[in-house]
Amino acid sequence: MPAAHTACMTATPYADFHARSLAERDAFWAEQARRIDWHVPPQQICDTSRPPFARWFVGGTTNLCHNAVDRHAARRPGDPALIWVSTETGQEKVYGFAELQAEVEAFAAMLLAQGVGEGDRVLIYMPMIPEAAFAMLACARIGAIHSVVFGGFASSSLASRIEDATPKLVISADAGSRVGKRIAYKPLLDEAITLSAHKPAAVLMVDRGLVAFERVAGRDLDYAELRRQHAGARVPCAWLESNSISYTLYTSGTTGKPKGVQRDVGGYAVALATSMDWIFGGKPGETFFSTSDIGWVVGHSYIVYGPLIAGMATLMYEGTPVNPDAAVLWRLVEQYRVTVMFSAPTAVRVLKKHDAALLKRHDLSSLRALFLAGEPLDEPTARWIAEGLGVPIIDNYWQTETGWPLLTVAHHISGVQAVPTRLGSPGVPMYGYDVRLLDEQTGEELTAPNQKGVLAIAHPLPPGALQTVWGDDARFVNTYWKSVPGREVYSTFDWGLRDADGYTFILGRTDDVINVAGHRLGTREIEECISAHAAVAEVAVVGVADALKGQVALAFAVLRDPGLASPALEAEVLKHVDARLGAVARPSRVLFVSVLPKTRSGKLLRRALQAVAEGRDPGDLTTLDDPGALAQVRALLGMSN
């Protein structure tokens, strides 16, 4: 390919491009700001006068809903915008941009009629139905602050979020559904409101007709009825100063009490528009499919706002990857000609328990890449899905706080050399992120290859990242910016290593580092090694206090074939670790379990495993998906409760 070769020779190396994004920060982001519509253009690109706070595109006024919906509806009214598929109820529906705009305007009119205005909070506790996206976009349209809480969270988790967000209005539905099992939301919501000190003035209920529910007179409103009243309403977009608050969203709660991340309007819109092009390579008219949920940051950035801002159709899916069968995701890719897909390693590990031939059953010729994020992507899982699908698998590392990828490989920046993927690493720092690797104890910057340290970001965080912790600037400053000694940098609380070519490897969370007889090991290193054993489907490793060595590693493994669990297999897995990482990394035991404790977003809850193994109280378990997972561990360790 001589042409491509020539292009490569003249293209800027990515490292130079990244360096320019920092050195010429304001010029760089001023160019990117042109990707969105502004009512009033920004007066200042970045205000860094009050570190660690940063304000992007100061004085500019814009609107997320205008950029996601109206501007496309004006030019391409009939093009698909929102594709909704529920394998739970057997429904599929496609909304064009104009149709989406009409739904959002009617919804916005309902909110206004309830007295909801700019700066008011609206809590959204909903299943994956189109009305959830309408609700988010309607809030964005009128400048109300949405706070989406993952549907089906228990009432105590919901209550604490209602108290923190103090919403004027709550939007909910009768029920969600998971593999045919209906989960009634209304009793959970009613109980949460009873528990909460803050009482919302109104509850807007979408009745899907799945589960009967009781209405509280004077408080509960019916969506279908209000929609009839407000059909055809015109509600103009509110032009909001760039630093107005668009939403708050809680982190997954993997390490402790969830933090209420607060996001702006203009910086977020620009960051998403840029990432849709440069990182995801998505083009207007194409279809983006993220398997996440609107309750998580991936759902905010890459189900609702990002694809729509880019003029793409977004596929919103209510269902699991294995129902009615493990080919359902690929059936959707074929049917809707999905070009870019986004999922999580945990979903791929679920598929891995099924026949790989299912990956080949459908026509995947439209699909260009599968992006995975949320947890470390182990090499065996990455290989399995890459071989099965025959498209590039692109790991990307980020957080609720950052709003968009911090480490990945950015394949689509014109004039800039693509960074090849490297198994085991999400990639290199993205433009705009001044990423540093720091010694946890001294705060010193680690520049030599293969040193282990805390992954941090220097001030200012790029557009799209959190502004602060909702209602708690002190927590923002003290939690994120004061944890590395002697430096005011943003800590990701993840532990990493950078190789000689600049690829960063995530070794685990700083809480999960194990110190065995003075050797510091990331849980990820040991997990990666054990998961490479052919018998193992999934594994979690934690450090457990040990009188002699300080800490020892303890492993919990799910086998591909649970029938194979035996002392001989445990010995074999231990030998496997010895041979690859050395005896220092060898876990004291490998315990075989049928399920690992995970958060509702599919992340391993190592802190809970560790606490149980050390006989401590596991703390806040409100985000735990399946309580049975911990009961099993307690039983295995011979503990009562």
Residue 202: name the closest of 113, 142, 118 by CA.
113
Question: x/- string (CB under 5 A) for Mg ion, residues 246-275?
Answer: -----x------------------------
* Least distance (Å) between residue 230 CB and ligand ATP: 35
Select the residue interacting with ligand ATP from 127, 374, 597, 602 (CB under 6 A): 374
**Could you give the CA distance from residue 574 to residue 539 in angstroms, rounded to a whole number?**
13
Select the residue interacting with ligand ATP from 72, 498, 586, 603 (CB under 6 A): 603
494 binds ligand ATP (CB under 6 A): yes
* Token code pair at residue 24: 């010429």
CA angle, residues 264, 270, 276, in degrees to nearest 5: 120
DSSP annotation string for 42-68: -SEEEE-SSTT--EEEET-EE-HHIII
From residue 457, alpha-carbon distances to 338, 461, 481 in Å are 34, 7, 9
Question: x/- string (CB under 6 A) for ligand ATP, residues 406-445?
Answer: --------------------x-------------------
522 binds ligand ATP (CB under 6 A): no
Which option in ligand ATP, Mg ion, none does residue 147 bind, with CB closer than 5 to 8 A by kind? Answer: none
* Token code pair at residue 421: 């993927």
* Token code pair at residue 139: 């809030």
* Least distance (Å) between residue 494 CB and ligand ATP: 5
Q: Which of 72, 509 has the CB closer to ligand ATP?
A: 509
Footprint on residues 66-125 left by Mg ion (CB under 5 A): none
* Least distance (Å) between residue 306 CB and ligand ATP: 16
467 binds ligand ATP (CB under 6 A): no
Select the residue interacting with ligand ATP from 71, 121, 368, 509 (CB under 6 A): 509
375 binds ligand ATP (CB under 6 A): yes
Residue 261: name the closest of 274, 280, 248, 243 by CA.
248
The single-letter code of the amino acid at 619 is: G
319 binds ligand ATP (CB under 6 A): no
Q: Which of 398, 431 has the CB closer to ligand ATP?
A: 398
CA angle, residues 595, 601, 604, in degrees to nearest 5: 45
Greatest alpha-carbon pair distance for the chain in Å reads 72
525 binds ligand ATP (CB under 6 A): no
* Least distance (Å) between residue 260 CB and Mg ion: 13
* Least distance (Å) between residue 558 CB and ligand ATP: 19
88 binds ligand ATP (CB under 6 A): no
Give the helix/strand (H/E) hosting 334. Answer: helix 328-336
| β-strand pairing of 61-62 with 240-241 | antiparallel
292 binds ligand ATP (CB under 6 A): no
Q: Which of 187, 256 has the CB closer to Mg ion?
A: 256
Select the residue interacting with ligand ATP from 165, 437, 506, 590 (CB under 6 A): 506
Helices (H), 47-185: 64-65, 71-75, 97-113, 130-142, 155-165
**Could you give the CA distance from residue 521 to residue 543 in angstroms, rounded to a whole number?**
9
Is residue 484 within 8 Å of 387, Cβ to Cβ? no
| Radius of gyration, alpha carbons of the chain | 24
- Overall size of the chain counted in residues: 641
Residue 622: name the closest of 636, 608, 640, 606 by CA.
608
258 binds ligand ATP (CB under 6 A): yes
Looking at 240-248, 263-271, 393-401, 415-423, which segment touches ligand ATP (CB under 6 A)?
A: 393-401
255 binds ligand ATP (CB under 6 A): yes
* Least distance (Å) between residue 183 CB and ligand ATP: 21
72 binds ligand ATP (CB under 6 A): no
Looking at 264-272, 334-342, 369-377, 471-479, which segment touches ligand ATP (CB under 6 A)?
A: 369-377
Q: Which of 287, 504 has the CB closer to ligand ATP?
A: 504
* Main-chain phi, psi angles of 325, to 5 degrees: -150, 175
* Token code pair at residue 542: 């934690």
Q: Which of 329, 465 has the CB closer to ligand ATP?
A: 465
Looking at 10-18, 391-399, 410-418, 458-466, which segment touches ligand ATP (CB under 6 A)?
A: 391-399
Question: x/- string (CB under 6 A) for ligand ATP, residues 224-253?
Answer: ---------------------------xxx
CA 273 and chain centroid, separation: 17
- Secondary structure (H, E, C), 378-417: CHHHHHHHHHHHCCCEEECECCCCCCCCCEECCCCCCCEC
Select the residue interacting with ligand ATP from 147, 172, 246, 254 (CB under 6 A): 254
Which residues are at the interface with ligand ATP (CB under 6 A)?
A: 251-256, 258, 373-377, 395-400, 426, 492, 494, 506, 509, 601, 603
Which residues are at the interface with Mg ion (CB under 5 A)?
A: 251
